[in-house]
Chains A and B, each alone.
Chain A
Amino acid sequence: MREQIFSLLIDHIQLTVLAVGLAVIIGLPVGILISRYIKISKPVLAVANVIQAIPSMALLGFAIPILGIGVVPSVIAVALYALLPIIKNTYTGMSTINRDTLEAAKGIGMTTQEILFRVQLPMALPVIMAGIRISAVNTVGLMTMAAYVGAGGLGYLVYAGIRTVNTVQTLAGAIPACLLALFIDYFFGLIEKLVTPVGLVLKDSGEPTKIFRERKRRVITFAVICAIILSLFGAELFSKSQKADIVVASKDYTEQIILNNMVADVIEGNTDLKVKRKMALGGSEICFKALQTGDIDMIAEYSGTLYSLILKHDPISDKQIVYDTMKKELKEQYNIACLNQMNYNNTFTLAVKPETAEKYNLKTLSDLKDASGNLTLGAEIEFFDRQDGLVGLKQTYGLSFANELTVVSSNRYTALENGDCDVIDAYSTDGLLKKFNLVCLEDDKNFFVPYFATPIIRQEVLDKYPQIVPYVNALGASLSEDTMMELNYEVDEQQLSPEKVARDYVIDNGLVPSTMPRINN
């Protein structure tokens, strides 16, 4: 975990530097411009203010369709937020320079450009640097957003921790971010003091020798810190320069992270290819877009999702037709290949407590028809509205529940435990099913759309590295709903890391050589 934190920290710093750098390159000239042409200062500052007021996630959301995912949209979005303090402070710094000084400069024969670079900017620099410092500190905090679109950074740990309710992980992301912000504040404050012309410092305080000595000390401190930072970057850059052969991604929930780590593991363990992992990237659409643009090469997705969401077909329940259509159309329309479907189906199901199953003799969904009149259903809001959810389910099985409640996500299990409801919707491999020892009702009429995990990969990458196919297929064949549920359970309940769970599985099941190193939690 420590290496991960360090690597993410370096990512975070790099992203912050890019964003602040971009904001300075744009903001500084704009600030200088509006200080010279006062008429446009009001509208420009108004625009910058408006940008700041937009919620950060919304701005990022706007950016993605245009700029894609990854470093580019996050840097640009955050840079927009960094603009305001820089523009404002540059404007202020430039406007509050003594008019007489500027007139004297003009009068003795300095050109506009000479005045700008030799008089105005040096004198305004302390105020400008203060603005940059504020921007930088803000940016460190906002840059946690970057992880949401796969750009890396400490946000990755924060989001992961929130998602799996792992406070330690959240803190592992939040605390370094906080410390980084404090350090940036100090470091830029140091720069701010160093770029303040000595003449200005003397004006306000006094003792020259003390001031010069302090200045010297600050210069040395600055140089030392720079040297340290550069060497850290050098080390990280070197390790990163080992370029990856295949980029494997996952969506941002537990099963996906485990599954795709396993895929990456079997590739790395059995071939000498280097795999880069971009886990917890986002939702299905973000991941598919990344596949199209080549930001990622491979992901284990679900057949139902690809069939209905991506390829936009009406949902059907025939497993083979779904797979064949999907394979054909992905190849034809997107030049993406499908490997074999894996041996488990993570589809919708209805679950009840064992006592309820016993009382009403429930094994299949058909059994539910008569009993439903006595039962309360608690389900996610998504489930209620979908044709391939409750709507079609009720039609197919003739269900009619006594009561229907919308419940949020993992609260469903709690509600079931408390007796607030009797039946809940679930994904068939949810770890929590195991925890509460629930009974899943069999879909005997084959209503639900199949969601078989299927690795999809860019055709050109597959052509380059066909050797991965047997290993990935072997992985798929070894899995089952129970196995997957068990693995999910280990992460969600037992708080093991998905990487560890994945690695242990592939080693213990002989899918990789036993010499592959295990992972600590």
Chain B
Amino acid sequence: MIEFENVNKSYGSQKVIEDLSLSIKDGELAVLIGSSGCGKTTILKMINRLESPTSGTILINDKDTGALDATELRRQMGYVIQQTGLFIHMTVEENIGIILKLKGTPKDEIKKKTTDMLEMVGLDPKIYRKRYPAQLSGGQTQRIGVARAFATDPKIILMDEPFSALDPITRAQLRKELKTLHAKTGKTIVFVTHDIDEAIQIADRICIINGGKIEQFDTPENILARPASEYVSKFIGENRIWEYPEYLTVKHIMIPDSFPIIVPDMDKLLVFDENTKLVDIVSKIDESGRNIFAVSKNGEVIGSFTRMALIKAFIEHMGKGEE
């Protein structure tokens, strides 16, 4: 578990992180996101002490990172950056195995590990082992970067906008592969990005940061459906949830205050709580054969929606993207 307790960071008189407390659970993929200069990278770098807090503590599994040896700390984590930071004078194999080598791991063990890592990121070891970074494409270098991060079998992996410099197709591919990898290995991953779609797609929880403070730290669903502040909704964009229909709730398509409802068969009127997900009720609506449905909140009816409203809403909002 990674914990920030009342962390402050200033550069001279400029306050970058202000009284920040956060808790990242073991095995979760937490995404730090915000606009440029919000402090997300600084927060990430405080975990492996590339930056130090001006005040406050950072604990990893209840141990104060400030008290540990920095180099040892870093060796127990994986670290991937945007430009990869691969050593261009070393082969792929040497890059992946560098820390193992420095730790004194025997040669054959290193060889086995590099082979495994290359396979894990989907590159044929026989072909890529002896290649140099200059001979690789952008996507391949990032894969090697990930392989290097995983090579020491760390419990925590830090990633600083690792896919931001790649083309959309490769980016999408790598995101998918990372999510699979995360599911398979169960490591704690802290991931920094400025791309909200990326965050929604891979995160267990998203941490939205504004001016060195946390706006909301919650699941993608909650952030989309229940933004905690105006900043968050503005940041996400009002229409973004429509790109993730699996998170849409009844609340999004309801016509508020549209009661009393006079319909035939009032007793057969279906009432849904406002937070019911549309995906869960689509078949029910279909089978019911009815046209109008009621929406309730805390037991009280607050609005209604029609079958047509559902369709209209989709047509209206789809493809509008960010606003």
- Which B residue's beta carbon lies closest to that of A111? B71
> Is A105 touching B83 in the complex (CB atoms < 8 A)?
no
Whether the pair A200, B75 counts as a contact (CB closer than 8 A) is: no
Residues in A whose Cβ lies below 8 Å from that of B74: 106-109
Please tell me if B169 contacts chain A, counting CB pairs below 8 Å. no
A104 at the B interface (CB under 8 A): yes
Complex Cα gap A158–B148 (Å) = 60
Q: Which B220-264 residues have C-beta < 8 A from chain A?
A: none
The CA-CA distance from A200 to B132 in the complex, in Å, is 9
Once bound together, how far apart are the Cα atoms of A122 and B149, in whole Å?
A: 22
Q: B34 near A: Cβ within 8 Å? A: no
Residue from A104, A108, A114, A199 in contact with B90 in the complex, judged by beta carbons closer than 8 Å: A199
Query: With A106-B74, A111-B71, A114-B102 in contact, is A101–B135 under 8 Å at CB?
Result: no
Residues of chain B with a CB closer than 8 A to A114's CB = 102
Q: What is the bound-complex CA distance between A34 and B82, given in angstroms? A: 29
A482 to chain B, nearest CB (A): 74
With A111-B71, A199-B132 known as contacts, the answer to whether A105 contacts B85 (CB < 8 A) is yes
Q: Do B133 and A199 touch (CB < 8 A)?
A: yes
**Chain A nearest CB: distance from B68 CB in Å?**
12
Q: Is the CB of B50 within 8 A of A101?
A: no
If A106-B50, A107-B50, A107-B79 touch, does A197 touch B89 (CB 8 Å cutoff)?
Answer: yes
* A314 contacts the other chain (CB 8 A): no
- State which residues 139-162 of B face A: CB under 8 Å: 148-149, 158
Does A318 have its Cβ within 8 Å of any Cβ on chain B?
A: no
B75, A108: Cβ atoms under 8 Å? Answer: yes
Chain A residues within 8 Å of B72, by CB? 109
| 24 A-B residue pairs with CB within 8 Å | A101-B86, A101-B87, A103-B81, A104-B84, A105-B85, A106-B50, A106-B74, A107-B48, A107-B50, A108-B74, A108-B98, A108-B148, A108-B149, A109-B71, A109-B73, A110-B99, A114-B102, A199-B88, A199-B89, A200-B88, A200-B134, A202-B134, A203-B88, A203-B133
User: Residue-by-residue, is B156-188 near A (CB-CB < 8 Å gives 1, otherwise 0)?
Assistant: 001000000000000000000000000000000
Flag whether A20 is at the interface (Cβ < 8 A). no
Residues A103 and B50 in contact, CB atoms below 8 Å apart: yes
Choose from B83, B135, B148 the contact partner of A100 (Cβ within 8 Å): B83
Q: Interface size of B by Cβ–Cβ distance < 8 Å?
A: 32
B49 to chain A, nearest CB (A): 10
Q: Report whether over half of chain B's contact residues are helix, strand or loop; otherwise say mixed.
A: mixed
Give min CB distance, A199 to chain B, whole Å.
4
Q: Is the CB of B81 within 8 A of A107?
A: yes
In the complex, per-residue mask of B58-87: 1 if CB is within 8 Å of any chain A CB, else 0? 000000000000011111111101111111
Contact in complex: A108, B79 (CB < 8 Å): yes
Q: How far is the CA of A122 from the CA of B94 in the complex (A)?
A: 14
B residues near A208, Cβ cutoff 8 Å: 135
Contact A101 B134 (CB under 8 A): no
Q: Which residues of the other chain, B, contact A118 by a CB distance below 8 angstroms?
A: 87, 98
CA gap between A203 and B72 in the complex, in Å: 32
Nearest CB to that of B145 among chain A residues? A104
Q: Nearest CB to that of A100 among chain B residues?
A: B83
Tell me the smallest distance from the CB of A507 to a CB of chain B, in Å: 66
Complex formed: what's the CA distance from A172 to B133 in Å?
51
Please measure, in the bound complex, the distance between the C-alpha atom of A200 and the C-alpha atom of B135, giving whole angstroms.
11
Instruction: Assess whether A72 is interfacial by the CB under 8 Å rule.
Output: no
Of chain B, the residue at the smallest CB distance from A126 is B89
Q: Using known A-B contacts A106-B74, A107-B74, determine if residue A199 contacts B81 with beta carbons closer than 8 Å.
A: no
Residue in A100, A104, A109 whose Cβ sees the most chain B Cβ within 10 Å = A109
Going nearest first, the 8 A-B pairs with the smallest beta carbon separation are A104-B85, A197-B89, A109-B75, A109-B74, A203-B134, A107-B79, A199-B132, A202-B134
Q: Which residue of B lies closest to A101 (CB)?
A: B85
CB distance from B81 to the nearest CB of A (A): 6
